[in-house]
Structure 1
Amino acid sequence: MSHNKLLDPTVNKKIRVLMLVRQFYPWIGGTEQQAQKLSIALANKGVDIHVSTGWWFKDTPRFEFIDNLPINRNFTAWEMFGIRGLRKFGGYLYMLTLANYLWRNRDNYDLIHIHGLNYHSIVGIVVGHWLGKKTLMKLACGGAGSDIIKMKSNKFLYGTKQMLPLARTCDCVVAINEDIAAELVDYDFESTRIFCLPNGVVVPDKPAKRSHEKRCLRIVFVGRLHPQKGIDVLIEALGLLKQHYPELKWMIDILGKGNLLPELKERCEVLGIVDQVKFHGAVVNVNDYLERADIFVLPSRAEGISNALLEAMALGLPCVATCVSGNTTVVEHNKDALLVEPESPLALSKGLATLIEDESLRLKLGQAARQKIEQSYSIDAVAESYLELYEKMLTASNLVVYNNSM
């Protein structure tokens, strides 16, 4: 599709999108990474992108350019004065300052692209409709850890449960996999407003080069040290790997931070794997570790579409992942990854052992994984799909028209 004009024909100007994300860089979770990558890719295609987020860290500027993207941080009071009790208050304050920002800048955007379902999303939807702007909301996680369930439990802020009906009025809701789309329908979102578009990743020009003479293979895990990511299952699996396959030589780099760190280190002591397990905390140079690794592991209990999994596959890294929604959307067992049952240290240890022992299988899965990313998950292709959706939203007379024309 040609986008030479990139115009909204009703106003004869470039498409202008306000990216609304509750947190942004230097916060580097999956949602934030995707918002940044997609914004850059769309800007490269000629879309006028502005990012609006919260001012959560007092040492970050209220306004700056990151990767040539203008970033505006709205006041929250959260951690501004070092008082933890201000965090809830900061959430409510953010809703007010965000609404004010959307109003003051109403002439600078045509469409609000909201990342995640949270209290900031409701502000974007309500104010957007009031101003006559189109609204799009992307949801990236389903199941027990989904934003919808958190909102229903008032986990974010008191009163968010009562805000949920307003979320259903969003013009378009993007789910990153079919399971999340089905879940949205179960929660009474109109199916004609729901679209499936995956996360995307920047694909390196070449896969990472790996030595075939290594005696000790390097495994890598990237993610929060949180129960959802199954990091506790991974540690138990590594203990079994050492116990049942003592002849195998391996080590693992664990990249990420979280409250589980002390107990994970304690379990490593008990299992006798301290020398083989390296906790690095949150790192900026994730790709450096992926390029040095031989195997990527993702033991999640629930996923939307893992950014880390996509990045590992893009580098041609063979992967072992749990058979949960999100992972099964991206990979097929024994074709471009190994899938194992979740919650099973034994199954995970066997999957890791299989890859450690079989170099030809590692090569086969790694090559197939990279090919899958090139064909279906490059950020450029994903941005192109969003651009088509934006254009249809801004020109179609109703939702059903542009839904049926996708």
Structure 2
Amino acid sequence: MRKILIILGSLDLGGTEKQLFKILKKIDKDFDIHLALVWKKGKLYKDFKNLNIKIYKTFERKKYNSKLLGIMSELWGLKKKISPKIIHYYLPHAYLIGGFLSIFKDKITFFMSRRSMNNYQKKIFAIKFIEIFLHKKMDLIIGNSSKVIDQLVNEEFVKKEKCLLIYNGVEKQKFIKRRKKRVVNIIMLANFISYKNHRMAIEAFSLLDKTLNWRLSLIGNHTDKKLVYSLINLTIKLKLKKQVLFVGQIENINSYLKKADIGILSSNEEGFSNSLLEYMSFSLPVIATDVGGNSDLISENSDGFLVKQNDAMNFSQKLHRLISDYDLRIKLGKNGNRKINDKFDIIKCANTYKKLYKSM
């Protein structure tokens, strides 16, 4: 059985981690899969442990005073012990720490999955140069949206033939025709990180006609307490406290998706949003900022609306349109559900990875 070593930072409740879980769940019987974590376990650790894979916590190594040297030593040992056919990096953390393995190829095929736009490279000097160097050592670089691929080619000098576009996938859902309600429920699935731009979304709701009946549920990780408190204070200032609910992080969001009428996303950056996939699979019309791969997924006026980044006024106008038009919500939700089932099925996504791993 073909051995694959996947290197990842942690198994937290992030979009990449949840997507990887769904993929491995479909292919773990076809390969001998080993997963090395270089940062921490994360909240999905127990779920991954139930898969037919082996997990290594390289960050627990105590041999060296330097934690980084310990992790690198552990990764080197795993490479020698496992002798994988393929090493696959997910996310910058794992790529930057474990990328040195690609310098010594030893007949191993190396993949890297880029799951976001490269804005993070601007935060720390030299990251971009290190990644450009590592890109040359990769046999294939996988992007999850056309914008991610374009950035790799145009800004990081990766040859187009070395890139592969594989969209995220989600489980198929039957079309849900929601009943007309007095209060329209709106959902936003996004961890409380500054670039998710919850502030703009809240400001957009403050611009709505006061006669509209709506409720917004903000679901995501509350780790950044300072950000959360500032947003709560903003809802108080804008007199929206009773209408905006800070739900926090939940593992099973299906019950919220079923009760919702509209799904929104106000991010300043995205690779390819799992939240939008979830919304549309559950027959929700969507409003999202036109960043990253969102335009790969949303067709304007067909299954949702795209607005410019930080444009609270336009966002509010789209909200008004959907909140006040039940028939439009049903129409857009139905179109979105059909699109997801046709093009973004998780089985189709997993089969693409299966074929890729077998072809190398």
Which of 188, 192, 195 is matched with 2:164 structurally? 195
The percentage of counterpart residues that share the same residue type is 27
Q: In the TM superposition, what is the alpha-carbon distance from 1:163 to its structure 2 partner? A: 5.8
Detail structure 1 runs of 4+ shifted over 6 Å in the superposition: 58-61
Match of 1:384 in 2: 351
Residue 39 (1) aligns with residue 24 (2): yes
Asked if 1:254 is matched to 2:218, the reply is: yes
Conserved? CA contact 1:122–1:167, under 8 Å:
no
Q: Distance in 1 between matches of 2:125 and 2:207?
A: 37
Distance in 2 of aligned mates of 1:189 and 1:118:
20
> SS where residue 164 of structure 2 aligns?
strand
CA root-mean-square deviation: 2.8
Measured in 1, the distance between the counterparts of 2:146 and 2:255 equals 32
Q: Secondary structure at the match of 1:275?
A: coil
The match for 1:404 is none
1:370 offset after TM fit, Å? 0.9
How far the C-alpha of 1:51 sits from its partner, in A, is 2.2
Matched length:
355
SS for the counterpart of 1:113 is strand
Match of 1:227 among 165, 190, 194: 194
The amino acid that maps onto 1:103 is K
Q: What is the match of residue 22 of structure 1?
A: 9
Residue in 2 that maps onto 1:399: none
Alignment-mate amino acid for residue 251 of structure 1:
R
Please point out which of 56, 59, 68 is paired with 1:73. Answer: 56
After superposition, residues 291-302 of structure 1 pair within 5 angstroms as 291-302=258-269
Post-superposition Cα deviations, 1:174-233, rounded to whole Å, max 9, x if no partner, equal 1112221121122112222111111111223x2345332x10011000112122112110
Q: CA deviation at 1:354?
A: 0.7
Q: Deviations over 1:6-27 (max 9, x none)?
A: xxxxxxxx43322222211xx1
Q: Which runs of 5+ in 2 are unaligned?
A: none
Per the alignment, do residues 297 and 74 of structure 1 end up closer, same or farther by CA in structure 2, a change over 3 Å counting? Answer: same
Q: 1:47 to 1:111 in 2, by over 3 A?
A: same
Highest RCO, 1 vs 2 (Cα 8 Å, sep ≥ 6): 2
Q: Aligned-pair distance for 1:239?
A: 1.3
> Residue 212 of structure 2: SS of its match in structure 1?
coil
The TM-score, its normalising length taken from structure 1, stands at 0.80
Question: 1:402 corresponds to which residue?
Answer: none
Cα distance in 1 for partners of 2:97, 2:216 equals 41
Matched-pair contact (CA < 8 Å) for 1:114–1:121: no
CA drift of 1:367 comes to 0.7
CA–CA distance in 1 between the matches of 2:44 and 2:316?
A: 42
Matched, 1:117 2:92: yes
- Aligned residue number for residue 115 of structure 2: 140
Residues 55 and 73 in structure 1, CA contact (< 8 A), matched pair in contact too: no
- 1:262: Cα distance to partner? 0.9
- Cα distance, 1:128 vs structure 2: 7.9
CA distance in 2, matches of 1:59, 1:376: 29
Check if 1:375 corresponds to 2:342.
Answer: yes
Structure 1 unpaired stretches of 5+: 1-13, 81-87, 395-406
**Which among 54, 60, 66 is matched to residue 38 of structure 2?**
54
Matches within 5 A, 1:138-217: 138-145=113-120, 148-149=121-122, 153=125, 161-162=129-130, 164-186=132-154, 187-204=156-173, 206-208=174-176, 210-212=178-180, 214-217=181-184
The SS at the match of 2:186 is: strand
Aligned residue in 2 for 1:398 = none
Would the aligned equivalents of 1:310 and 1:373 in 2 still touch at CA under 8 Å?
yes
Contact 1:99 1:124 in 2 (8 A): no
Change (3 A) 1:121 1:216: same
Partner of 1:306: 273
